[in-house]
């Protein structure tokens, strides 16, 4: 009969439509974004001339609670013998890696709040460099406020997810040699991420192994027992405190309390009783300069002073330009910061810091020996940093056993020599290495070594990565260890053709190819158009026949697929929040968009974000000066105080 025949016809046709449409919707949802969507077309304030090729934006890591990590990727200027990528992380926990991008190793620095200048010594000369605001909630990254990360393994798992998704978007970088670098509390993050990458590489299911070739950690927080013990010793050596003085005695009492604590809970990544050594040190050595003002040491560079209780949180001076710049609307748009991230950029997010309580995680020192059997590590220290000072790093190296030996003892009774490093005629520091571990001290340098000595750190990086400029030519930089030159590296003296030129060349070639293909392409296109028109007519005719059957029209794209979970799950993921069935039950969680980081009061973040160890302990108000000065915000600050701030600030505070 007519109706039944016709309805069979329909179901067949709709099957055809479904078959054609399904791959479409699937692709659309999966490829929500492509590499092109992350391309940074312009950067406000950039110097004249070609822009460094960059990509930036968010990658979703935990869809169930809107966890997104922000990245800023800069392409190398030259490829010397190999393609390399450096991933850079700042510390905190909760401090943004845009510190690294705009004050340390990135291609640009801010001269004022709207003018970028080239950084002489940027790390993207021979490596692609990517800054990631890690973990979720940090910097431009965001997450629901109830889903901050607590443990190091959790952080690292999310980071590996980030990399999986990132390389899916940018497969051309997946075979690069990978280096992970960073400073301060990243001394915990980096080894954990390395551990997870190495484990991933060993899974049988892993198609692309990642070539992790090295780790670089500057003034890292790695091993609490030695590093807490180093505060007093460093203070004596640098003459901040006199042995036998009242202050010294008080600090030694605190140090004993700390040591007792650590004897019981040796595995803690951080310990409040031990943090107090540093807090008290800064407090007790502060001197009154005016009625209402005391001056204390800058804990990131003891050659400098700061007002109490900031003690370094106002430093470095570039910070006063970086924060306003990264909050500008045109900058935020240029970097593709997701509008869901409604709060402005802050250097250190106090919420992230206070939630990051790794009670189950062991300090990263425990991971280093295993990593060192597979991947070389470089630890470097600015000599004038107090908070993660070089004495602590040296002590932890001495106590560590790896690759068949302990510390820098290379055979019984012989130690790896400290080789004097001269750079461009000046005493720059010394190098020491054994069994895949290299240690470098930078003289006259703060906690943020690349801030003080960008060119020297670039030389260090290139030597560590084995960059050899003989393949591209250029003027070697005068850098010597014990007077010897070693392989030729260069900082800024490259002669060879840049990556950008090579790409322009490639683009020209492929444009020519296109020209050649176009004619045949036009013919194919015409055939496709005719076929589509015929098919469209067929559908139209069939539909007209079945006009009475209106429900189907809706069923095609609405109720039909919505009713069946499978087909449309990817698009519900896109809408966010409803993918996890538990989420819907859980009230707030289910309605992810409503509780994400973007939605809570950002003034609170501002007031929480910069806090020195001393502030945490003392009931003294701190303000960054630029935006947190009005009364309302100060009230918020009162409300937020005392909630575990000591940790957040302890390991890096403003400038890690
Ligand atoms: C050092 O690292 C390499 C990988 O770069 C590894 O093959 C080697 O075994 C390691 N050396 C030692 C002494 O373990
Ligand atoms: C840098 O440090 C070295 C070694 O401590 C010292 O000899 C030199 O005078 C310092 N230079 C400056 C500019 O402070
Ligand atoms: C750059 O490449 C072009 C063509 O590949 C070549 O003619 C030119 O000499 C190269 N320049 C340098 C400085 O190597």
H-helix or E-strand containing 29? helix 2-30
Q: Decide: helix, strand or coil at residue 48.
A: coil
Within 265-348, where are the H helices? 272-284, 319-327, 329-334
Please tell me the predicted confidence (pLDDT) of residue 68: 95
Query: Exposed, middle or buried: residue 552 (CB in 10 Å: 0-12, 13-18, 19+)?
Result: middle
- Give start and end residues of each alpha helix (H) in 129-223: 152-169, 186-202
Q: Ligand 3 atom 3: the closest Cα is on which residue?
A: 497
Better pLDDT: 601 or 389: 389
pLDDT of res. 400 = 97
Ligand 3 centroid, distance to 497 Cα (angstroms): 6
What is the Cα–Cα distance from 278 to 75, expressed in whole angstroms? 40
Find the residues whose C-beta lies inside 6 A of ligand 2.
427, 443-444
What number does the ligand 2 atom closest to the CA of 383 have?
5
In short, whether 498's Cβ falls inside 6 Å of ligand 3 is no
Please report which ligand is nearest the Cα atom of 177.
Answer: 1
pTM: 0.76
pLDDT band, very low/low/confident/very high, at 648 (cuts 50, 70, 90): very low
**51-55 contacts: CB < 8 A, separation 24 or more?**
52/77, 52/107, 52/108, 52/124, 53/499, 53/500, 53/503, 55/170
Q: Specify the DSSP element, H or E, that contains 73.
A: strand 67-74
Per the DSSP assignment, residues forming a β-bridge with 56 are: 72
Q: Rounded mean pLDDT of the chain?
A: 79
Nearest-atom index, ligand 3, CA of 473: 14
Backbone angle region of 557, left / alpha / beta, with phi > 0 → left and psi within -120 to 50 → alpha = alpha
Q: Is the model more confident about 535 or about 542?
A: 535
Taking alpha carbons only, the member of 392, 312, 376, 374 closest to residue 649 is 312
Q: In this structure, what is the dihedral angle of CA atoms 179, 127, 449, 219, given to the nearest 10 degrees? A: 0
Question: Which of the four pLDDT bands, split at 50, 70 and 90, describes residue 33?
Answer: confident
Annotated catalytic residue, options 184, 354, 628, 656: 184
Helix (H) or strand (E) holding 257: helix 246-264
- Ligand 3 atom 10: the closest Cα is on which residue? 497
Largest CA distance in the chain: 107
How far from each other are the two terminal CA atoms of the chain, in whole angstroms? Answer: 78
Residue located nearest, by CA, to atom 6 of ligand 1: 374
Residue 230 has pLDDT above 90, yes or no: yes
Catalytic status, residue 447: yes
pLDDT band for position 153 (cuts 50, 70, 90): very high
Q: Is 72 helix (H, G, I), strand (E, B) or coil?
A: strand
Handedness of CA 557, 561, 562, 563 (dihedral sign): positive
Confidence category of residue 596, pLDDT binned at 50, 70, 90 = very low
pLDDT band at 602 (very low <50, low <70, confident <90, very high): very low
Q: Among the bound ligands, name the one nearest to the CA of residue 426.
A: 2
Q: Which atom of ligand 1 is nearest to the CA of 373?
A: 14
Does position 630 have pLDDT exceeding 60, yes or no? no
pLDDT at 232: 97
The rounded distance, in Å, linking the Cα atoms of 486 and 61 is: 43
Distances (CA, A) of 231 to 276, 424, 442: 11, 32, 19
Distance CA 254, CA 368 (A): 29
H or E element in which residue 413 lies: none
Nearest CA to ligand 3 atom 7: 497
Encode pLDDT of 574-587 as tens digits.
222 222 222 222 22
* Ligand 3 binding pocket mutation candidate from 497, 506, 508, 509 (most atoms within 8 A of CB): 497
Measured from CB, residues less than 6 Å from any atom of ligand 1 are 373-376, 403, 435-436
For residue 545, what pLDDT band results from cuts at 50, 70 and 90? low
Cα 187 to Cα 182, 368, 392, 503: the distances in Å are: 7, 10, 13, 36
Provide the pLDDT for residue 597: 38
Cβ contacts of residue 285 below 8 Å, gap of 6+? 235, 240, 241, 247, 296, 297
Q: Which residues pair with 479 in a beta bridge?
A: 423
Q: How far apart are CA 56 and CA 43, in angstroms?
A: 11
Q: What is the pLDDT of residue 607?
A: 34
**Ligand found nearest the CA of 508:** 3
> Which of 125-134, 538-547, 580-589 is predicted with the least confidence, judged by mean pLDDT?
580-589
* Ligand 3 geometric centre to CA of 78 (Å): 13
Number of CB atoms found within 10 A of residue 12's CB: 11
What residue owns the CA closest to ligand 1's atom 12?
373
Query: Residue 7 Cα, ligand 1 centroid: separation in angstroms?
Result: 69
Q: For the chain, give every domain's residue range.
A: 2-31+547-595, 497-545
Q: Is 78 tagged catalytic?
A: no
Q: What is the 3-state secondary structure (H, E, C) of 521-557?
A: HHHHHHHHHHHHHHHHHHHHHHHHHCCCCCHHHHHHH
Alpha-carbon separation of residue 270 from 93, 289, 613 (angstroms): 11, 33, 13
Among all ligands shown, which has an atom nearest to the Cα of 509? 3
Q: How confident is the model at residue 497 (pLDDT cuts 50, 70, 90)?
A: low
523 pLDDT tier (thresholds 50, 70, 90):
low
Q: Which pair of structure tokens corresponds to residue 623?
A: 């303000």
Q: Is 117 helix (H, G, I), strand (E, B) or coil?
A: strand
3-state secondary structure of 33: coil
413 vs 164 pLDDT, higher one: 164
| Atom of ligand 3 minimally distant from the CA of 495 | 13
CA–centroid distance, residue 271 to ligand 2 (Å): 34
> Residue 652: is its pLDDT beyond 90?
no
* Residues 496 and 78: beta-carbon distance below 8 Å: yes
Percentage, residues of the chain above pLDDT 90: 58
Q: Coil, strand or helix: which one is 274?
A: helix
Structure confidence at residue 369 (pLDDT)? 98
Which of 396, 439, 486 minimizes the C-alpha distance to 431?
Answer: 439
How far, in Å, is the centroid of ligand 1 from the Cα of 222? 21
Q: From the centroid of its chain, how far is CA 582?
A: 30
Q: Give 506's pLDDT tier (boundaries 50, 70, 90).
A: confident
* Residue 495 near ligand 3, beta carbon < 6 Å: yes
Instruction: Point out the ligand 2 atom lying closest to the alpha carbon of residue 443.
Output: 2
- Is 315 in contact with 656 (CB distance < 8 Å)? no
Q: What is the pLDDT of residues 337-357, one digit of tens each?
A: 988 787 889 999 989 998 998
Helix (H) or strand (E) holding 406: strand 405-406
Count of C-beta atoms within a 10 Å radius of residue 303: 12
Whether the pLDDT of residue 567 is over 50: the answer is no
Question: For residue 140, how far is its CA from the centre of ligand 2 (angstroms)?
Answer: 38
Q: Closest by alpha carbon to 340, among 69, 593, 601?
A: 593
Q: Is the pLDDT confidence value at 638 over 80?
A: no
**Which ligand is closest to the CA of 198, given by its number?**
1
Cα–ligand 3 centroid distance for 80 (angstroms): 15
Quote the Cα angle for 117-120-126, to 5°: 115
Ligand 1 center from residue 403 Cα (angstroms): 8
Cα(443) to centroid of ligand 2, in Å? Answer: 6
3-state secondary structure of 178: strand
CA separation (Å) from 395 to 163, 376, 389? 33, 19, 10
SS3 363: coil
Q: Among 383, 442, 443, which is best to mutate for testing ligand 2, by the most ligand atoms less than 8 A from CB?
A: 443
What Å distances lie between residue 390 and 21, 291, 435, CA to CA? Answer: 61, 35, 20
């Amino acid at each position: 009969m007519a109706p039944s025949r016709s309805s069979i016809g329909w179901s067949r046709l709709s099957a055809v439509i479904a078959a054609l449409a399904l791959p479409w919707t699937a692709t659309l949802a999966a490829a929500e974004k492509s590499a092109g969507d992350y391309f940074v077309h312009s950067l406000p304030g950039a110097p004249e001339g070609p822009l460094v090729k960059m990509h930036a934006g968010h990658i979703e890591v935990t869809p169930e609670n809107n966890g997104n990590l922000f990245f800023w990727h800069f392409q190398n200027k030259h490829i010397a013998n190999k393609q390399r990528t450096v991933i850079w992380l700042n510390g905190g926990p909760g401090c943004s890696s845009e510190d690294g991008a705009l004050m340390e190793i990135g291609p640009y620095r801010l001269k004022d709040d709207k003018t970028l200048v080239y950084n002489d010594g940027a790390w993207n000369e021979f490596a692609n460099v990517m800054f990631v605001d890690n973990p979720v909630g940090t910097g431009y990254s965001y997450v629901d406020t109830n889903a901050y990360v607590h443990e190091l393994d959790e952080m690292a798992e999310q980071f590996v997810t980030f990399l999986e998704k990132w390389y899916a978007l940018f497969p051309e970088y997946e075979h690069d040699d990978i280096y992970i670098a960073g400073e301060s509390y990243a001394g915990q993050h980096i080894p954990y991420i390395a551990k997870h990458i190495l484990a991933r590489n060993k899974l049988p299911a892993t198609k692309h192994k990642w070539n992790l070739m090295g780790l670089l950690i500057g003034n890292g927080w790695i091993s609490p027992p030695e590093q807490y013990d180093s505060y007093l010793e460093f203070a004596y050596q640098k003459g901040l405190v006199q042995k036998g003085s009242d202050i010294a005695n008080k600090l030694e009492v605190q140090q004993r309390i700390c040591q007792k604590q650590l004897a019981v809970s040796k595995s803690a990544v951080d310990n409040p009783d031990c943090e107090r050594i540093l807090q008290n040190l800064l407090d007790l050595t502060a001197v009154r300069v005016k009625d209402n003002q005391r001056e204390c040491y800058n804990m990131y560079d003891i050659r400098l002073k700061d007002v109490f209780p900031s003690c370094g949180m106002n430093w470095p001076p570039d910070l006063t330009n970086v924060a306003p710049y990264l909050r500008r609307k045109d900058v935020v748009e240029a970097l593709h910061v997701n509008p869901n991230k409604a709060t402005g950029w802050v250097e250190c997010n106090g919420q992230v810091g206070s939630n990051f309580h790794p009670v189950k995680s062991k300090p990263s020192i425990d991971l280093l020996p295993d990593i060192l059997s597979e991947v070389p590590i470089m630890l470097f220290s600015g000599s004038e940093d107090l908070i993660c000072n070089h004495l602590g790093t040296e002590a932890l190296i001495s106590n560590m056993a790896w690759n068949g030996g302990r510390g820098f003892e290379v055979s019984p009774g012989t130690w790896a020599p400290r080789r004097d490093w001269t750079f461009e005629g000046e005493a720059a520091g010394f190098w020491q290495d054994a069994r895949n571990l290299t240690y470098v001290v930078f003289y006259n340098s703060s906690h943020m070594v690349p801030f003080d000595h960008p060119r020297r750190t670039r030389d260090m990086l290139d030597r560590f990565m084995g960059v050899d400029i003989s393949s591209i030519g250029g003027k070697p930089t005068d850098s010597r260890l014990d007077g010897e030159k070693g392989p030729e590296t260069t900082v800024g003296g490259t002669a060879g053709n840049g990556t950008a030129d090579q790409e322009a060349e490639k683009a020209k070639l492929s444009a020519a190819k296109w020209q050649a293909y176009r004619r045949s392409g036009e013919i194919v296109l015409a055939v496709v158009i005719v076929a589509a028109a015929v098919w469209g007519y067929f559908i139209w005719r069939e539909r007209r026949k079945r006009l009475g059957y209106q429900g189907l029209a809706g069923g095609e794209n609405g109720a039909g697929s919505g009713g069946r979970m499978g087909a449309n799950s990817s698009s519900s993921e896109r809408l966010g929040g409803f993918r996890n069935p538990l989420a819907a039950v859980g009230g707030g969680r289910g309605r992810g968009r409503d509780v994400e980081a973007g939605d809570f009061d950002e003034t609170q973040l501002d007031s929480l974000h910069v806090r020195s160890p001393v502030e945490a302990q003392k009931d003294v108000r701190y303000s960054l000066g630029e935006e947190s000065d009005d009364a309302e915000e100060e009230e918020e600050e009162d409300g937020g105080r005392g909630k575990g701030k000591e940790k957040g600030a302890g390991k890096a505070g403003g400038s890690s």
